[in-house]
Amino acid sequence: MKPVWSTLADPAARLYLTRMLPLAPEGIYFENAAGRLVEHPNGYALVRYYPGPRKFSDFQALLTHLSSLLARRRWNRLLSDQRQMSPHTAQETAWLRDVWLGATSRRPGPRYGAVLRALDVFARLSMNQVLHEARGTGLVYREFDREEEAAQWLRQVR
């Protein structure tokens, strides 16, 4: 079922509703045991990681679909909700650094990532390592504690 604002003919009314409901997801693009990937109506990808251990193949699939969504929509913004995420394994960290970030660095222009900090301190540390290694790849990111602040920042960057 399509959200109400996507069926409105008047662009001003559609814009008003998407601003009034800034965190309402338009539709699930992909979902597996690692998390959910949503096409957000404000023009960015929303990744919500699920808690608990995950298979490496599920992690790879989630981020591969994220890359596909960004490319298909020609988007350069994402919100990564890591609040419930478990720490990255060594294999995941290596894949993020060597494969996923490498592929995103080949895309022209900057990419913007709003990261909702993980509640688990070890997950936060593993992500900080990845973000540190992301410098120079064209990924501009900021970390947030509240989703509203992250969404506000993403509305400001293009």
**pLDDT on residue 127:** 81
In which order are the strands placed within the sheet that holds 27-32?
A: 27-32, 35-40, 44-49, 77-81, 111-116, 139-144
Q: Is residue 89 part of a domain?
A: yes
CATH code: domain of residue 105: 3.30.750.24
The CB-based long-range contact list for 15-21 (8 Å cut-off, 24+ gap) reads 18/42
Q: How many domains does the chain have?
A: 1
> Domain span at residue 69?
24-156
Q: Is residue 93 part of a domain?
A: yes
Q: Is residue 115 part of a domain?
A: yes
pTM of the model: 0.78
Per-residue pLDDT tens listing for the chain (158 residues):
444 444 445 555 544 444 444 444 458 999 999 999 999 999 999 999 999 999 999 999 999 999 999 999 999 999 999 999 999 999 998 898 888 887 665 666 788 999 999 998 989 888 887 777 766 677 888 999 999 999 999 999 97
> Which one, of 30, 61, 58, lies nearest residue 46 by Cα?
30
Check if the beta carbon of residue 5 is closer than 8 Å to that of residue 14. yes
